[in-house]
Amino acid sequence: MNRLRVGVLGAGRIGRLHTANMEQKLAGVEVVAVADVLKDAADECAAKFGIGRAYGDPADALGDREIDAVLICSSTDTHATLIEAAAHAGKHIFCEKPIALDLGAIDRALTAVERAGVKLQVGFNRRFDPGFARARELVADGSLGSVHLLKITSRDPGPPPLDYLKVSGGMFLDMTIHDFDMARFLVGEEVEEVFAAGSSLVDPAIGELGDIDTACVTLRFAGGALGVIDNSRRAAYGYDQRAEVFGEKGMVQVGNPKAHAALLSDERGKHGPANFHFFTERYAEAFVRELQAFVDAVREDKEVAVSGNDGRVPVVMGYAARRSLELGRPVTLAEVETGFAG
């Protein structure tokens, strides 16, 4: 196959980041159009990267016959609809997470994708971080033996604006969703049950919204392994995302990359740098690898690395965690599915 011709839907921060990566770092791909409901944003992005066409309506990009695939980088509430439309237009799809906060909408989108026979990769970029990817490799190749325990730490430097939090679906669907995906990815098994504990300790205003900002979520995997995720909306020392998989033969720990490798020793001790404060630095490499994987999967007609179902299950886990927090007891994923079906 020739170079994959991509249309980027949404010229905001993440859309521009992907565009820059495609233009500068990826092989086998070219961006032929960018679309944004704010036409100015589309124009500006197209000018900056020398992209031929800028659209003020994503539908125009979907109708563009020279586009093979679209990147859905618009706001979350538009994802599911755009997936459906893109599938109908026969475009392959890369969609930022989450697909939707509504399981019905997700399922309609996935059905459309399946019927159209196009590829869909969901944007769980952390899987492509070299450290997390290496951990998965060690689990998959048997270096750890069977998995007994999983630990994931995920803490942000600071909370998003309250206006954003109001429509975010709550901490489990907005923030922990990444960790739910990581749990499934690292262990390679499904989670059956979730117990969530949460507090509002970072900012009382978050508690007043009915949300939490600090959480511990216990997971039970199908094979009996246990897992725990801890989250905070504010880490004074920067972006903190680590994982640990413990099995019968050993353990792998994934730490944070360092901002630099200089260490000061003085009479008070040894002093190294704080963590990165921006996810674009923390995951710079991961964003590149993620899109390259998508481009390669389409061009070589291979299975995508993060499927539609991989985009769906963490949403179910988020609902289970939310219900567990409300009910004060463990909740199974089956309960959520049933409740949804009912």
Draw the binding track, 13-32, toward its own copies (x: CB under 8 A; -: no contact): -------x--xxx-------
From 37, 209, 228, 333, residue interacting with its own copies (rule: CB under 8 A) = 228
From 7, 58, 123, 227, residue interacting with its own copies (rule: CB under 8 A) = 227
Tell me which stretch binds its own copies (CB under 8 A): 28-36, 95-103, 170-178, 197-205. 197-205
- C-alpha–C-alpha distance, residues 122 and 96, integer Å: 6
Q: Which residues of 4-19 are buried (b: 16+ CB within 10 A; e: fewer)?
A: bbbbbbbbeebbbbbb
Residues of span 122-151 touching its own copies by CB under 8 A: 129-135, 138, 143, 145-146, 148-149, 151
Q: Which is nearer to its own copies, 103 or 325 (CB)?
A: 325
For the CB of residue 134, give the shortest distance to its own copies in the complex, in Å.
4
69-72 and 53-55 beta bridge pairing: unpaired
- CA-wise closest residue to 283 among 149, 133, 138: 133
Residues of span 322-341 touching its own copies by CB under 8 A: 328-330
Q: Which is nearer to its own copies, 124 or 132 (CB)?
A: 132
Torsion of CA 253, 257, 260, 265, to 10 degrees: -30
For the CB of residue 83, give the shortest distance to its own copies in the complex, in Å.
29
The C-alpha R_g of the chain, in whole angstroms, comes to 20
The DSSP symbol for 128 reads G
Helix (H, G, I), strand (E, B) or coil at 161: coil
Q: Which is nearer to its own copies, 86 or 317 (CB)?
A: 317
User: Is 263 a binder of its own copies (CB under 8 A)?
Assistant: yes
For the CB of residue 145, give the shortest distance to its own copies in the complex, in Å.
8
Q: Which two tokens stand for residue 144?
A: 């750890």
Q: Which is nearer to its own copies, 89 or 225 (CB)?
A: 225
User: Is 182 a binder of its own copies (CB under 8 A)?
Assistant: no
For the CB of residue 283, give the shortest distance to its own copies in the complex, in Å.
12
Q: How many CB atoms lie within 10 A of CB 279?
A: 18
Q: Which residues of 287-306 are buried (b: 16+ CB within 10 A; e: fewer)?
A: bbbbbbbbbbbbbeeeebbb
For the CB of residue 174, give the shortest distance to its own copies in the complex, in Å.
18
